[in-house]
Chain A
Amino acid sequence: MSDPQAVKFDVVGFNERKVDGMALVTGKPVFAGDLDQPGTLHLAMLTSPHAHARIRAIDTSAAEAMDGVALVLTHRNTPATRYTTAGQGYPEPSPYDARMFDDKVRFVGDRVAVVAAESKAIAEAAVEAISVEYEVLEPVLSIDAALAEGAPVIHDEPDSTGIWDAAGNVAAAVDVRVGDVDAAFDDCDVVVETTTETQYAQHVPLEPHVCRSYLDEHGRLVLYTSTQVPFHARRIVARLLDVPIHRIRVIKPRLGGGFGVKQEVLLEDVCGLVTLRTGRPALWEYTRREEFVSSRTRHPFRVRVKVGAMSDGTIHAVDLDAIENTGAYGTHSLTVLSNAGSKTLPLYNRAPHVRFTGKAVYTTMPVGGAYRGYGATQSYFALETALDELARRLDMDPVDLRRRNHIREGETSPIFAELGEGREGVAMTINSCGLPDCLTEGMDAFGWEEKRGRRPGTGPLRRGVGMATFMQGSGIPLIDMAAATIKMNDDGSFNLLIGATDLGTGSDTILGQIAAEVLGVPLDHIVVYSSDTDMTPFDTGAYASSTTYVSGKAVEKAAIQVRDQIRSVAQKMLDTDAALLSVEHGTVVAPDGRSVTLGEVCTRAFYGADQFQIAATASSVPEESPPPFLACFAEVEVDVATGIVRVLDFVAAVDCGTAINPIMAEGQMEGAIANGIGYALTERYEFTATGRMRNADLARYKIPGPVDLPPIRVLLVDSYEPTGPMGAKSIAEIGINGPIPAIANAIYDAVGLRLTETPFTPEAVWRALQSAGIS
Chain B
Amino acid sequence: MRVSLTVDGVARDVDVDPGASLMDTLRSLGYASVKNGCDNGDCGSCAVLLDGRAVNACLVFTAHADGRAVTTVEGLIDLHPVQRTMLDMGGIQCGFCTPGMVMLAVDLLEHSADLDEDRVRDALAGNYCRCTGYVKQVEAILAAAEERGDE
Q: Write the residues of chain A forming the contact surface with B, with a CB cutoff of 8 angstroms.
A: 15, 17-18, 20-31, 33-36, 203-208, 254-257, 259, 285, 287-288, 503-506, 663-664, 666-667, 670-675, 697-699, 703, 705-707, 709, 711-712, 714
Contact = CB atoms under 8 A, between A and B. Distances in A.
22 contacts: A15-B90, A23-B95, A27-B33, A27-B72, A27-B73, A27-B98, A27-B99, A204-B130, A206-B35, A206-B37, A207-B94, A256-B35, A257-B93, A667-B93, A667-B132, A675-B130, A698-B128, A699-B40, A705-B125, A706-B121, A706-B137, A711-B117
A21 B99 contact: no
Contacts of B127: 705-706
A399 B90 CA distance: 32
A29 B35 CA distance: 10
Contacts of A673: 133
Contacts of B121: 706-707
A259 B93 contact: no
Given A25-B79, A506-B93, A705-B125, 19 more contacts: A15-B88, A17-B87, A26-B76, A31-B35, A31-B96, A206-B45, A206-B96, A206-B129, A207-B37, A256-B95, A285-B36, A664-B90, A664-B93, A666-B135, A667-B90, A698-B128, A699-B40, A707-B121, A712-B135
Contacts of A255: 94
Contacts of A35: 32
A103 to B, nearest CB: 32
Nearest to B80: A25
Contacts of B135: 666, 670, 711-712, 714
B62 interface: no
B102 to A, nearest CB: 7
Q: Is the interface of B mostly helix, strand, loop or mixed?
A: loop
Contacts of A698: 37-38, 40, 42-43, 128
B94 A26 contact: no
Contacts of A703: 128, 130
B3 interface: no
Interface in B6-60: 30-33, 35-40, 42-43, 45
Contacts of A17: 87-88
Nearest to B88: A17
Contact of A663 (B89, B130, B131): B89
Contacts of A697: 38, 40, 42
Contact of B74 (A20, A27, A259, A671): A27
Question: Which secondary structure dominates where chain A touches chain B?
Answer: loop
Nearest to B87: A21
A385 B99 CA distance: 41
Contact of A18 (B37, B40, B92): B92
Contacts of B122: 707
B128 A705 contact: yes
A26 B83 contact: yes
Contacts of B138: 706
A460 to B, nearest CB: 23
B86 interface: yes
B125 A707 contact: yes
B41 to A, nearest CB: 8
Contacts of B73: 25-27
B136 A667 contact: yes
Nearest to B97: A206
Interface string B104-128: 0000000000000100111011111
A19 to B, nearest CB: 11
Contact of A288 (B40, B79, B120): B40
Contact of A671 (B83, B93, B120): B93
Contact of A254 (B43, B94, B128, B131): B94
Contacts of B38: 288, 697-698
Contact of B96 (A23, A207, A287): A207
B133 A709 contact: yes
Nearest to A678: B130
Given A207-B94, A705-B127, A674 B132 contact: yes
Given A26-B74, A27-B72, A257 B98 contact: no
Contacts of A504: 93-96, 131
Given A206-B97, A207-B35, A259 B92 contact: no
A663 B90 contact: yes
A259 B4 CA distance: 41
Contacts of B76: 26
Contacts of A287: 39
Contacts of A663: 89-90, 136
Contacts of B39: 287-288
Nearest to B120: A706
A505 B37 CA distance: 19
Nearest to B82: A25
Contacts of A506: 93
B143 to A, nearest CB: 13
